Structure 1
């Protein structure tokens, strides 16, 4: 059973403790609690064999879920031009702005940065956001002599000719749509979909981000954990723990398979606080620890100190001046074997009974 399933089961038992009083003694015994029968305010004839003190502390309830350390979701790149595929970068290679993602008929198809796809040929007289995106990239690559705006001018065409000359292709001053692939940043070649000698018009390669991330899929009932910016801890297979945070939260639908219906999941992308913490790591299972709840400076007792009251609810056996009595308490957060309690006469240092 996975850490996530074990923790989820434990969470359902612990957080269902308030319902134990309603379902009877058998369920209470399952939590290590005594059967119902004590009455609040009733003195007991015998002192407990063991005791513990009420403590004032911060309770942190955590949940563990399995994650996969990799480079995030991959995206397939398909060629849009004719010809023959002549070169594909090695798997794991990083391609940056201005470099070739692949070569067809021994000419490069170039990576540029941007969010708008290359959807048309660009030439003098064209206007639009795609023109500005191209010009921004030319400027970043060191080409000058034009104004970065949304107009493809003759000056832009001159800069394009210089760029085409450096790429080793015909200097036309017109940018072919199939010559450019836009991505939001540098990419990492994740998988080959074709090899040199194949047609350049189909799926060629799959790529990912260059930044290692941890992906975690959560069930809908765990939505409270799926908050962007939340701090988490990632435990690597070698036992090392890395601090990180949730960078992206996506809702994804996993298609039905056979008799298994489609499922909705929250897919989290987690990045380390230290950007070098995941360097050199890829394709491994990790454990991600989430903080499910936190209560600061509260009164807490061991869970075993709780008594199920005959009238409903819970209490603790307070030991004072050589005598013991049952005091009703209100329970709050459960965490790490402790439970938050409040009640009349309950304070830090109060001595309570424990099962022998």
Structure 2
């Protein structure tokens, strides 16, 4: 009995698989084949498990996993920070303008006759140049502000009273031109005594011409001297010296040397002129609309809104941007006093707001290059705020309760009152807004 029980326990402790007999292992020999296969299988299973874990982890990282995961934390707030700064703000406004020489004005041509020569449009004329020819006589440009209103030359003196044919007063005691004789005969023209007639005496010689005087004489003599004609004193008297100088000038022009300047021989302007379009053709009669002119300096004309033209004050400095973007300094020279609607009805109707012409001069003509006309942009200063707190406009945030605010670097929001907007900045204020405060610019 005891021998049988011991055997049974050994079997339980060492069960034998009938389908998998185990060969005895000899010392110093390789393990059996089946054992090595099992080890290799276990190694493959371990590697496969590691691969699956890695794949699952990768899928979870790409958001492909299906299991519950902790949501990612919120990313940090993006954006830069700036400090509230104290500065000056200037509001600039742009309007459209036109570059050119200005409106053409008719020349005050006073010569009468037939137009026999005209210049090319765009020709520049200066002192002493011929503007046009009337009856083949040159009309010359001179400089001055006083228009030509009379002929210039020596004036004839007032002749003495005419005493030809008068008699001397009768002698004492006589009457009626008689010598008081008994026969009452007249003695006029018969004797050389008292009461004789002077009707046969020669008239006295005429007095010499007298100098003409006036400011127009001074203006003309100044031009004559500037052209190189001398021999007279530049003053308000047209003397014989002036007359001789005029004769030399007339010979140069191919005119008869009369020494006198006709009313239509000269046209005055304040300086050089640029001649425009002619109002008549060759062979037509001369008149006030015969030829137009402008100044030689290029300028800008802006048709400014009459309701918003407070910036247009004579002498105001501004910036003109040429078509290529080049900035040029300008200055308001004149402002029209009559508003005109776009339809040209004087502001009484039309489809647009009335405008006034504003003329802007450009001191640096060289900066314009060869550009003579074209559209330009005029920038002028509107409002200006000095010594105020400001931040970039992008730093403003809209508050839920209304208005604007600023976000500080620690995430707080402070209320900010806004003022002038200019050059990408905005004026700000408020109890919590101070110079140097760091605020965030959201992205």
TM category (shorter chain) comes to 0.7 to 0.9
Tell me which of 138, 141, 156 is aligned to 1:111.
141
Residue 317 of structure 1 aligns with which residue? 406
CA–CA distance in structure 2, aligned partners of residues 266 and 300 of structure 1: 36
Q: In the alignment, what sits opposite 2:240?
A: 154
- Unaligned runs of at least 5 residues, structure 1: 1-46
295, 303, 306: which one pairs with 1:220? 306
Residue of structure 2 aligned with 1:327, choices 386, 393, 415: 415
How far 1:315 moved relative to its partner? 5.2
* Partners of 2:392 and 2:424 within 8 A in 1: yes
State the 1:196 CA deviation: 1.6
Whole-Å separation in 2 of the counterparts to 1:344 and 1:332? 15
Change (3 A) 1:262 1:334: closer
CA RMSD of aligned residues (A): 2.9
Contact 2:330 2:362 in 1 (8 A): yes
2:268 matches 1:182: yes
CA separation of 1:136 and 1:78: change in aligned 2, threshold 3 A: closer
Contact 1:111 1:180 in 2 (8 A): yes
1:193 is matched with which residue?
Answer: 279
Deviation at 1:338, TM superposition (A): 2.0
Partners of 2:252 and 2:369 lie apart in 1 by 33
Is residue 2:294 matched to residue 1:203? no
Which of the residues 265, 273, 278 maps onto 2:368?
278
Q: Indicate the residue corresponding to 1:95 in structure 2.
A: 125
Query: What do the CA deviations read for 1:185-240 (whole angstroms, capped 9, x no partner)?
Result: 01011212122211123521111001111122222343342233433222222x23
2:107 matched to which residue of 1?
77
Map of 1:230 onto structure 2? 316
The C-alpha deviation readout for 1:47-88, integer Å capped at 9, x for no partner, is 998675323444332111111111122111253222211111
* Mapped contact 1:160–1:173 kept (Cα < 8 A): yes
Count of residues paired in the alignment: 304
Distance in 2 between the 1:180 and 1:165 partners?
16
Higher mean C-alpha displacement, 334-343 vs 202-211: 334-343
Which structure dedicates a bigger proportion of its chain to strand? 1
Shift of 1:96: 0.7
Aligned equivalents of 2:333 and 2:238: distance in 1?
36
Determine the structure 2 residue equivalent to 1:55.
85
Structure showing greater radius of gyration is 2
> Partner of 2:358 in structure 1?
267
- The secondary structure found in structure 2 opposite 1:276 is helix
Is the CA contact (8 Å cut-off) linking 1:252 and 1:264 kept in structure 2? no
Unmatched tracts of structure 2, length 5 or more: 1-75, 155-210
Structure 2: distance between partners of 1:130 and 1:136: 10
Q: Could you tell me whether the CA contact under 8 Å between 1:318 and 1:350 is conserved in 2?
A: no
Q: How far off is 1:146 after superposition?
A: 1.1
For the pair 1:289 / 2:379, whether they are aligned, the reply is: yes
Q: Does 1:251 align with 2:336?
A: yes
Q: Distance in 2 between matches of 1:301 and 1:152?
A: 72
Instruction: Classify the secondary structure of the residue corresponding to 1:159.
Output: helix
Return the match for 2:391 from 296, 301, 312.
Answer: 301
Counterpart contact for 2:130–2:138, Cα < 8 Å: yes
Larger RCO of the pair (alpha carbons < 8 Å, separation 6+): 1
Contact 2:322 2:328 in 1 (8 A): no
- Indicate which of 96, 110, 125 corresponds to 1:66: 96
**Secondary structure of the structure 2 residue equivalent to 1:109:** strand
8 A Cα contact 1:76 1:206, kept in partner: yes
Distance 1:293 1:309 in 2: 31
TM-score norm. by structure 2 comes to 0.62
